[in-house]
Amino acid sequence: MPILLAIETSCDETAAAVLRGFEGVLAHEIFSQAEIHSHFGGVVPEVASRNHLVSAPVIIDSAMEKAGLRIQDLDAIAATTGPGLASSLLVGAAAAKGLCIGAGKPFLAINHIEGHLLSPFFGHETIPPHTALVVSGGHTLLLDVEGFGRYRLLGRTLDDAAGEAFDKVAKLFGLGYPGGIEIDRMARSGNPARFEFPRGMIDSGDLDFSFSGLKTAVRTFLEKHGTPAVVDLPDICASFQAAVIDVLISKLFKAARQNSRRVISLSGGVSANSSLRSRSIERAAGEGLEIHFPPQGLLTDNALMIAFAAAHHLAASSSLSPLRSDSVKKMLSELKKHLFPIYDSLLTDFLETCFNQFAVA
Ligand code: KG4
Ligand code: ZN
């Protein structure tokens, strides 16, 4: 069975995983920068990429050590190449490509959304036909999935992503970053029916979403009522959360109905939300639908979902050749353009690690 190393650096997590076949987890390492970015109330791209430069070699080393393997033992190396923060993506992709050239391995470029999309079926060799809702900090998408590689976009957010709405509203409430977890925690003891917030586009007739009106409604509410009293915060959080979830659930089940799918999936950071999970599980049971979520550890950004998507790409491709060095040179000059010159020494150290340390002797 092929063994893959995957690297994920699309946002503020530096992650590396080693996967054998579709289900053999040999390593699953994540360094979250959330604490660092919480001081700024959100992800600062330059800070994220600088920290990836420092932590990527450590996380990759650690994953390989946990797997008990050398780079030469791998069949291919994958990295997330988009969508995400340009300067962060480049760090993971440069590391993976550097290792590929050093060890003469094929490189697999993986789409971050496909990583989330397939994660509810982690371990499966076949992806069943289903309706998928991908809800993260950067994306809110509804897709019809025929099987691996056969995806049709049904709807998407026209403005903010659902997770982005959670994060921005949490900031308005003075809660920490990432906001989704904080709101989820607060909302558990709150009354979702106490305040009425708008359910954007719930009756739009299509499968698109909009969450910026909801964010504005919360801001207006706060301007009118002032900073919420601590005792009211659980009710406000629960009411806001219910507005987001009502729309997500309504459109997900509508999409499944329209496409005659009996299987549905939810993925991405927001699919960790306790109310979204319990309500969608209950509704699926009521409608006789099979429902899938990513396993714990694969909900928010991670490299194992990237490795799993890469395993499917590997299985679907008839031949892969080792990466050539000229494609990497272009990428490195891109990487340099995205970073301030002050980081040149860090960059040099990092590239030396990637190119030399693992190179075949
Ligand atoms: O998938 P992810 O790690 O990153 C992206 O690809 O964007 O998702 C992160 C998002 C953040 O917006 C975070 O607030 C949200 O997922 N999130 C949650 C919960 N846990 C994470 N939102 C609502 N409830 C949660 N329990
Ligand atoms: Zn993500």
Position 352 scores a pLDDT of: 59
Asked if residue 97 and residue 134 are part of one domain, the reply reads no
Q: Which stretch of 105-109, 149-153, 290-294, 334-338 has the lowest confidence by average pLDDT?
A: 334-338
Task: Report the percent of the chain where pLDDT is more than 90.
Answer: 72
Neighbours of ion ligand 2 (CB under 5 A): 136, 301
Asked if residue 139 and residue 276 are part of one domain, the reply reads yes
Which ligand gives the minimal distance to the CA of 164? 1
Whether residue 218 lies inside any domain: the answer is yes
pLDDT of residue 355 exceeding 60: no
Q: Residue 92: CB within 6 Å of ligand 1?
A: no
Asked if residue 45 and residue 80 are part of one domain, the reply reads yes
Q: Residue 162: CB within 6 Å of ligand 1?
A: no
Asked if residue 204 and residue 133 are part of one domain, the reply reads yes
**Atom 22 of ligand 1: nearest residue by CA position:** 180
Whether residue 185 lies inside any domain: the answer is yes
Whether residue 123 lies inside any domain: the answer is no
Centroid of ligand 1 to alpha carbon of 300 (angstroms)? 6
Whether residue 297 lies inside any domain: the answer is no
Cα(343)–Cα(323) distance, integer angstroms: 26
* Listed residues 237, 261, 292: the one ending a domain: 292
Number of domains in the chain: 2
Asked if residue 238 and residue 91 are part of one domain, the reply reads no
Asked if residue 287 and residue 208 are part of one domain, the reply reads yes
Question: Ligand 1 pocket check: which of 156, 181, 214 to mutate, most ligand atoms within 8 Å of Cβ?
Answer: 181
Q: Which stretch of 173-187, 192-206, 337-351 has the lowest confidence by average pLDDT?
A: 337-351
Whether residue 351 lies inside any domain: the answer is yes
Q: Is 21 helix (H, G, I), strand (E, B) or coil?
A: coil
Whether residue 252 lies inside any domain: the answer is yes
Asked if residue 255 and residue 139 are part of one domain, the reply reads yes
Strands 76-82 and 24-32: unpaired
Centroid of ligand 2 to alpha carbon of 208 (angstroms)? 19
CA 95 to chain centre: 19
Position 254 scores a pLDDT of: 98
**Atom 24 of ligand 1: nearest residue by CA position:** 273
Position 358 scores a pLDDT of: 45
pLDDT of residue 361 exceeding 50: no
* Listed residues 292, 311, 335: the one ending a domain: 292
The CATH number of the domain holding residue 238 is: 3.30.420.40
pLDDT digits (tens, 9 = 90+) for 63-122: 999 999 999 999 999 999 999 998 999 999 999 998 998 888 999 999 999 999 999 999
Q: Residue 181: CB within 6 Å of ligand 1?
A: yes
Cα(190)–Cα(233) distance, integer angstroms: 8
pLDDT digits (tens, 9 = 90+) for 9-66: 998 899 999 999 999 999 999 998 888 888 887 788 888 999 999 999 999 999 999 9
In the numeric block, which tokens belong to residue 40? 């700024």
Q: Residue 166: CB within 6 Å of ligand 1?
A: yes
For residues 52 and 10, the answer to whether their CB atoms sit within 8 Å is no
Of ligand 1's atoms, which has the minimum distance to the CA of residue 161?
12
pLDDT digits (tens, 9 = 90+) for 240-287: 999 999 999 999 999 999 999 999 999 999 999 999 999 999 999 999
Q: Residue 165: CB within 6 Å of ligand 1?
A: no
Q: How far is CA 324 from CA 56, 103, 271, in A?
A: 22, 11, 39
Position 39 scores a pLDDT of: 80
Q: Residue 184: CB within 6 Å of ligand 1?
A: yes
Q: Is 172 helix (H, G, I), strand (E, B) or coil?
A: helix
pLDDT digits (tens, 9 = 90+) for 215-249: 999 999 989 888 777 778 999 999 999 999 999 99
Position 338 scores a pLDDT of: 58
Whether residue 237 lies inside any domain: the answer is yes
Asked if residue 349 and residue 258 are part of one domain, the reply reads no
**Atom 26 of ligand 1: nearest residue by CA position:** 273
Whether residue 145 lies inside any domain: the answer is yes
Q: Residue 167: CB within 6 Å of ligand 1?
A: yes
Asked if residue 273 and residue 226 are part of one domain, the reply reads yes
Residue 195 sits in which domain range? 128-292
Centroid of ligand 2 to alpha carbon of 113 (angstroms)? 7
Asked if residue 173 and residue 266 are part of one domain, the reply reads yes
Asked if residue 271 and residue 140 are part of one domain, the reply reads yes
Whole-prediction pTM: 0.89
pLDDT of residue 354 exceeding 80: no
Asked if residue 133 and residue 104 are part of one domain, the reply reads no
Cα(199)–Cα(39) distance, integer angstroms: 31
